[in-house]
Amino acid sequence: MDGGFTAKPLGLRQIDQAYPLVRAIAPDLPVERWRAFAMALIGPSARPAAPAGIMTVQNERAYIHGLFSYAAREDLRFGQILSVDNFVVLDLFNLPDAASSLIQSMEALARALDCTAIHTALPESYADSSGHVHSMLGFFRDAGHDVDGVRLCKALARDGDNLSRPLTVAGNAD
């Protein structure tokens, strides 16, 4: 691929090496959570219902410059799609080539899995840099991706969390 970068699935021995990249998009993520997430997708006992994994872009020394997690799934409008999350690229000297290589690998993977579309969730920080000369959103647009919606997230508190509050439903007169 471009600039001496090669796209490869994340290897088991590379899980810890990839952690600093993941921290760039999830600064508070504990290493244990990353390891569990990665093992669920690529570990020896990983048995996802549909094709899933973690793809990286690496230089000739096997140093990881970027990654994304993915799963093939059914979509109402497009049928079989490649759903991409946790997209991150870090490169001080050749960000355009590293990002381009990873985006190209996404399309090759989608074609190999017989997908008709790619849905990518980017971190909000990537969307905010649209005026920057090396905008990640710009790299996606250059590769033919269009903004097709907005993905929202609401974290739900679990029992024992400080955020837990009893649920009240309006109009419930018991």
Q: How far is it, in rounded angstroms, from Cα 153 to Cα 127? A: 15
pLDDT of res. 142: 77
CATH number of this structure's domain 2-142: 3.40.630.30
What does the CA dihedral 131, 104, 109, 65 come to, rounded to 10 degrees? -80
Each domain of the chain, given as residue ranges in start order, spans: 2-142
Q: Which amino acid is at 57?
A: V
Contact 41, 48 (CB under 8 A): yes
Q: Is it the case that residue 136 has pLDDT exceeding 90?
A: no
**pLDDT one-digit tens code per residue, 30-82:** 999 999 999 999 988 877 677 999 999 999 888 999 999 999 999 998 899 99
Pairing of strands 79-89, 117-120: parallel
Banded pLDDT at 145 (limits 50, 70, 90): confident
